[in-house]
Structure 1
Amino acid sequence: MTEDSAYGYLLESLPAAVIVATDGNIALANRAARRLLEADPGVEGWACSELVGLPVIQFVHELDQFHSVSRMRRSAMSTTPNAPIELRVRTCRENLRVVLVTSVSIRFEGKDGVLISALEVGRGDAIGDRLRRSEEHFRRLFENMQDVYYRTDANGIVQMVGPGVRRVIGYEPEEVVGRDAAAWYPNTADRDAFKQAIRTYGEVSDFPGQMVCKDGRIIDISISSTALYDEDGRFAGVEGIYRDVTERKDLERELRRLASIDSLTQILNRRAFIEAAQTRLDSPDASCDLTLLLLDIDYFKSINDQYGHATGDQVLVRFADVVSSQIRETDLFGRLGGEEFAIVVSHTRPEHVRELVSRVLEAVRAIRLDGGVSRSSRGVTVSIGAALRAPDDHRVEQLLDRADRALYQAKHGGRDRVFWEMTA
């Protein structure tokens, strides 16, 4: 008989449940352990147990798994036994039991292993009924919660995920467990930001992110999670929940859009235009190749007086459409108020801005108040003041002020023209 065999037969006779695990799997389970876990009661001998080869963790209740794994890892690294702790275990027959567990590292069959000793506590029908009711309540909550419960290890590998994952991203739990959580992030920067926050603060609440669903859709999620630490205080993973907040985010985005868009012309309003223009000026790669154009529709008051405000509104909408068709997607275009508009043209040479201005002037002249195209119908013209960015321009107001002076000169010079505040 080998030393390990003798060791096994010795443990077989003990009244306490004993399991030896190597590489996280059961290598030995004595008679008391098989009885505790309700496994193959008719088979004798620790080496014949149907438990051998199964992961120890599958018999530990979900809520106790993290602490169980942490203690086993600690045992494997130390010859000092762990202090006893109560854990909930789930038997082969899906019954719950509470056990007092301790563990210590050993060598078994030439491998490093962990010897786990357990004694059942809380025997009795009343305690058993309470456990069953508690488990049923937990299972109902777990199965029906709209949020997705999850747990990852220190490397971001998913260790556990709730059934809500199939409702939120369309995957079955078994398709997610064992994979890197980063696989569902369409933007790695979101995942990096979350990892940084959880490491820095130990927890996050309503942290924003996105995930890719099984059908390819990208949804917005809100994450509330806590960092997990082992008994030595080392980061061991993350536990928490996330929920689908796409509908809320879509509403927020629409509200932001409405707050930044002029309701009549559907281009940027004054506040949004100035903020966006300032962002362009503040950009690290911003250059002096930036021009601000201030546009004012000529004689607009007389249009309102003669044709009515409804026609005036139609002119404003048509004007915005015409100008939008002449500028690039990268150019900023906004309505500052009334009949006054502005354009920011960046990263282009002055001669290209001159060509743009010529196209705008020509396109606006084609607008007719009665919708006709004959020269007898009244047309629309625009005056433009242009200001090139100077090296010491750091505020949009500086450009607006100079462009306004140039606009005055364009109107004073006869309208339907552009005046350049600085030589282009």
Structure 2
Amino acid sequence: MFNTRGKPVQAITVLLVEDNPRDAALVAYVLGDRIPRFEVTTVGTLSGALRSLKDYRFDVILLDIVLPDSQGFATIAAIRKAAPALPLIVLTGFADNEMALAAVEAGVQDFLIKGDFESAMIERAVRHAIARSHLEERLKASEERLKGVLDLAHDAIVSVDVRQRIVLFNPAAERMFGYRVDEIVGQPLSLLIPEPLRAAHADQFVGFFREGVESRTMVDRPEVSGLHRDGNVFPVEVSLSRSEGPDGPLFTAMIRDITDRKRTEAELRLLATTDPLTGLANRRHLIERAERELLRLQRFGSPFSLMTLDIDHFKRINDTYGHACGDHALCALAATCVGLLREIDMVGRMGGEEFTIVLPETVGDEAMLVADRIRRAIADIRCDSDTAAAVFGFKVSIGVAECSPEEARIEQPLARADRALYEAKAQGRNRVVRA
């Protein structure tokens, strides 16, 4: 037998499980006359059906649920266990709607009343059962693939309904937030959001709902945080999508914990802005800070001073006690400056034994007093020498320059502070000179 394209049409194989010879003959007769043809194998018991399912391949099962060796839903369960994927049509002599509904819920594709169907009806039921079974198989495979993706995803995936109640929570979300799926589904999304951010998040959710957009990334938000069950707050990156579910819109968030990234970024910023020996600001970072203070001075009249320090006879320390002791002296100077300065001040190492300090809101005699206090404190430092088994000290010369709003570049006041520093050295060192 061939179809309209000239290709052979394969027969539909049917397993008819029916103990009544008359009903079995009627079904076999009805199907045997259809085109394309049906090949019907008839058995009269559940045990016979199970043997046939084991030995042969079928496209569909027609099942009488009242058999000599099994009755009722136990018959359906046994067949379903032996052939879970085969489409199954129940044949019964009773018109019971509740029973029909229960049979469908038990995995049956259709429910036919004996003696109440015509030839076209049973053929249609068979074809529909096969088609529906194939659709169910594809749907099940799709759901399994989706579940596999959700289970294997490294990012947390959380879906909520329009009331912001959680309806989906994948294993990565369990690990990220510390909740089991069975205890978090149905709970409000706010459990996963730090309390200070909840009101703003609720507003953003309403805005996303009203916009009707299908997706949105959240990388443009200044700060997005998640809340672990134990109270720990951690930075996250979130992307949102919207879809239609059977009960209305669903909103799904893909959430990535970026704690490690933030830590790495902080470490990179530290490396880019910090002198590795003393832990102070490096030259680039300090100049950036000084340039910001110059802008504040020009825009708002906020005064500030710059102070340049240089260790006197530093080469003598390295030559006498070794470079390790020279490094020790630099670190001791840095720690002393930090201990004497305010939080708004900044001290940085410009290179070698030269340091610069930015003093916001400090000018004139006040800046000179700060500089002299630092000079005297550094003169009191005593460093141990491992190589010479001795204690040594050192002194500094300091140049101070008050910045002017007429100066266009920070290099100008820095140059004036440097000239004052050289003047302090020319006058005998261990002193402060004001530009």
TM-score normalised by the shorter chain: which range applies?
Answer: 0.5 to 0.7
Matched residue pairs, number? 306
For residue 351 of structure 1, report the CA deviation from its aligned partner: 4.8
Counterpart in 2 of 1:225? 240
Matched, 1:162 2:156: no
1:184 to 179, 193, 203: 193
TM-score (ref. length: structure 2): 0.58
Distance 1:363 1:369 in 2: 13
1:321 to 331, 335, 344: 335
For residue 366 of structure 1, report the CA deviation from its aligned partner: 1.3
Matched, 1:297 2:311: yes
Distance 1:169 1:322 in 2: 44
- Does the 8 Å CA contact 1:190/1:210 hold for their aligned counterparts? no
Could you say what secondary structure the match of 1:137 adopts? Answer: helix
Change (3 A) 1:270 1:123: same
Matched, 1:412 2:426: yes
Letter in 1 for 2:332: R
Counterpart in 2 of 1:171? 179
Distance 1:139 1:311 in 2: 63
Provide, for residues 369-389 of structure 1, a one-character-per-residue CA deviation record: whole Å limited to 9, x for no partner: 5459xxx96531111111122
Letter in 1 for 2:278: T
Alignment of 1:11-410 (within 5 A): 123-151=131-159, 157=164, 160-163=167-170, 164-172=172-180, 175=184, 179=188, 184-185=193-194, 188=197, 195=204, 203-204=216-217, 209-226=224-241, 239-282=252-295, 287-348=301-362, 350-370=364-384, 378-393=392-407, 395-410=409-424
How large is the Cα RMSD of the aligned pairs?
Answer: 4.3
For residue 255 of structure 1, report the CA deviation from its aligned partner: 2.1
For residue 122 of structure 1, report the CA deviation from its aligned partner: 8.2
For residue 202 of structure 1, report the CA deviation from its aligned partner: 5.7
Change (3 A) 1:214 1:300: same
For residue 247 of structure 1, report the CA deviation from its aligned partner: 1.7
Distance 2:96 2:305 in 1: 88
Greater helix proportion? 2
Distance 2:433 2:405 in 1: 21
* Alignment gaps of 5+ in structure 1: 1-40, 51-90, 98-119, 231-235
Could you say what secondary structure the match of 2:310 adopts? Answer: strand
Letter in 2 for 1:390: S
Distance 2:105 2:410 in 1: 72
Distance 2:191 2:290 in 1: 36
Could you say what secondary structure the match of 1:403 adopts? Answer: helix
Once the two structures are overlaid, the 10-residue window that deviates more, 140-149 or 261-270, is 140-149
Letter in 1 for 2:226: M
For residue 277 of structure 1, report the CA deviation from its aligned partner: 2.8
Distance 1:186 1:395 in 2: 45
- Does the 8 Å CA contact 1:287/1:347 hold for their aligned counterparts? no
Larger Rg, first or second structure (1 or 2)? 2
- Does the 8 Å CA contact 1:268/1:335 hold for their aligned counterparts? yes
- Does the 8 Å CA contact 1:96/1:132 hold for their aligned counterparts? no
Could you say what secondary structure the match of 2:423 adopts? Answer: helix
Distance 2:348 2:167 in 1: 50
Provide, for residues 134-174 of structure 1, a one-character-per-residue CA deviation record: whole Å limited to 9, x for no partner: 2222223223422122345789x355442332211223455
* Alignment gaps of 5+ in structure 2: 1-94, 110-127
For residue 409 of structure 1, report the CA deviation from its aligned partner: 2.0
TM-score (ref. length: structure 1): 0.60
- Does the 8 Å CA contact 2:191/2:227 hold for their aligned counterparts? no
Change (3 A) 1:287 1:420: same
Letter in 1 for 2:410: V
- Does the 8 Å CA contact 2:400/2:417 hold for their aligned counterparts? yes
- Does the 8 Å CA contact 2:337/2:374 hold for their aligned counterparts? yes
Distance 1:146 1:401 in 2: 54
Could you say what secondary structure the match of 1:325 adopts? Answer: helix
Counterpart in 1 of 2:57? none
